[in-house]
Amino acid sequence: MDVSGYIILAIALIDGLLFGLAIKKGIVSAILLIIAFVLASYAGLSFVPNVSFSKVYTYAKTFFIDNISKAPGLVSLGHVGSVTLVLVLFLIGLGVGIWKG
């Protein structure tokens, strides 16, 4: 009996869970960082000289606008045969990791 296929499926699910946890923690950290910048600018403080919330926002906005066109090439699934059980289990793990993380 060959168990390597089952191991790959389990690893795909666990990998999705870990990515989901990391994504959720990263989003929470980014939101808290934005709140910290807003509160600091409201109080008239600056963590780094000559850096304000508006400069950070402008830089982030231009960064995302410039790089959003590259996203479809990174997530290319190719033909229909690329959607396999491994990908489905990874996406299930990703969803559970984000939801329960």
Mind listing the pLDDT tens digit for each residue in 38-60? 888 788 776 666 777 788 788 88
pTM attached to this predicted model: 0.59
pLDDT at 25: 93
Tokens for 81? 């045969």
Residue 27 identity: I
pLDDT at 49: 67
pLDDT at 29 exceeding the cut of 90: yes
Cα separation, 40 vs 32, in Å, equals 12
Mind listing the pLDDT tens digit for each residue in 69-79? 776 666 555 55
